[in-house]
């Protein structure tokens, strides 16, 4: 298989998932962050994620060695100079993304596919800072990238068909099912899931039910693989709140106003799985720490007394 020169900018959770997914296809990838050490930390976390898969018999030690051998850490943005695909995966901040694309516009070769991985921001606004807005496109991957089979391919107002087809080929390379999205705040997945997450948080804050019961209700009642509160923890509560704030600013609709409980948790640094605590608690490997259900204990005691 012919190698594609691919660069990812941002070694956070999304950058890590993308790097692993790309390396698993047999392609080498450069993972760039502000410092090489941050990029190396990202690769270390990829190794830990693969270890979890090995424990579940999902991957082998040979797979791990092969994947990690194809990911190269760097802090040098000029690595993107000869890249065919440049994928931005930095935090969801419009001004930071615009500043990055302005720099990339001066670095990348004319025919490079330049992708922003954003869940809420305007592709057109990001593209406008470059001299090639027709060659900028959004690809909204969902976390965890290696497991979620979907990607939203988001066209900016000036994105041309050649760029779109390149993005389609990239999605096919990663074996992702893609949908076409015409730019609008929140696209499809984020716009629909955010009000659901927000409402689940309000139900918890108002004392209607416990976090466990809310998630159990949605899983058993509607066939969700994961409850909304656990899902928010996995996504990162700071990320979820930034989505809500971006959508609130763009659409001025109250349903996107972050629940006060979410704001409280984010301010306290309880961001979900990545910090060990959010709506639930997690161990160092990201596994849920399950506490004994007081109601079940009480119920068992009543049965015991009846006997």
Distance CA 251, CA 194 (A): 13
Distance CA 128, CA 107 (A): 16
Distance CA 139, CA 181 (A): 10
Domains and CATH numbers, the chain: 6-182 (3.40.50.720), 189-296 (1.10.1040.10)
Distance CA 12, CA 32 (A): 10
pTM confidence score: 0.86
Write down the pLDDT at residue 280.
97
Write down the pLDDT at residue 1.
45
How many other CB atoms are found less than 10 A from the CB of residue 134? 15
Tokens representing 101? 């694309």
Distance CA 141, CA 119 (A): 8
Beta-carbon contacts of residue 47 (< 8 Å; ≥ 6 apart): 64, 68
Write down the pLDDT at residue 302.
41
Q: Name the phi and psi angles at 144, rounded to 5.
A: -80, 130
C-alpha to C-alpha distances, 2 to 26, 71, 82, nearest whole angstrom:
9, 17, 16
pLDDT in tens, the chain (307 residues): 467 899 999 999 999 999 999 999 999 999 999 999 999 999 999 999 999 899 989 899 999 999 999 999 999 999 999 999 999 999 989 999 999 999 999 999 999 999 999 988 999 999 999 999 999 999 999 988 999 999 999 999 999 999 999 999 999 999 999 999 998 888 999 999 999 999 999 999 999 999 999 999 999 999 999 999 999 999 999 999 999 999 999 999 999 999 999 999 999 999 999 999 999 999 987 889 987 654 443 443 443 444 4
Write down the pLDDT at residue 306.
43
Write down the pLDDT at residue 4.
86
- DSSP secondary structure letter of residue 290: P
Write down the pLDDT at residue 3.
76
Write down the pLDDT at residue 58.
87
- DSSP secondary structure letter of residue 254: G
Write down the pLDDT at residue 25.
95
């Amino acid at each position: 298989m012919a190698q594609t020169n691919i660069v990812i900018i941002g070694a956070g959770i999304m950058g890590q998932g993308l790097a692993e997914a790309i390396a698993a296809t047999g392609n080498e990838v450069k993972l760039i962050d502000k410092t090489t050490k941050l990029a190396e930390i990202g690769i270390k976390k990829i190794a830990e994620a693969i270890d979890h898969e090995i424990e579940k018999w999902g991957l082998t030690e040979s797979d791990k060695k092969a994947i990690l051998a194809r990911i190269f850490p760097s802090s040098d943005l000029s690595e993107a100079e000869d890249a065919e695909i440049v994928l931005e995966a930095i935090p969801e901040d419009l001004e930071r993304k615009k500043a990055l694309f302005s720099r990339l516009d001066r670095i990348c070769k004319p025919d490079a596919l330049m992708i922003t991985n954003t869940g809420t921001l305007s592709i057109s606004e990001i593209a406008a800072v470059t001299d090639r807005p027709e060659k900028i496109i959004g690809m909204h991957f969902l976390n965890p990238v290696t497991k979620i089979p979907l990607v939203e391919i988001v066209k900016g107002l000036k994105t041309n068909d050649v760029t779109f087809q390149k993005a389609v080929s990239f999605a096919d390379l990663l074996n992702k099912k893609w949908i076409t999205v015409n730019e609008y705040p929140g696209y499809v997945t984020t716009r629909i899931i955010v009000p659901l997450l927000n409402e689940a948080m309000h139900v918890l804050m108002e004392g209607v039910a416990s976090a466990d019961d809310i998630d159990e209700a949605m899983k058993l009642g509607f066939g969700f693989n994961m409850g909304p509160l656990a899902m928010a923890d996995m996504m990162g509560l700071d990320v979820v709140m930034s989505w809500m704030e971006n959508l609130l600013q763009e659409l001025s609709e109250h349903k996107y106003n972050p629940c006060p409980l979410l704001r409280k948790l984010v301010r306290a640094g309880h961001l979900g799985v990545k910090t060990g605590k959010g709506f639930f608690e997690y161990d160092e490997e990201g596994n849920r720490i399950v506490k004994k259900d007081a109601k079940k204990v009480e119920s068992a005691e009543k049965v015991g007394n009846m006997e």
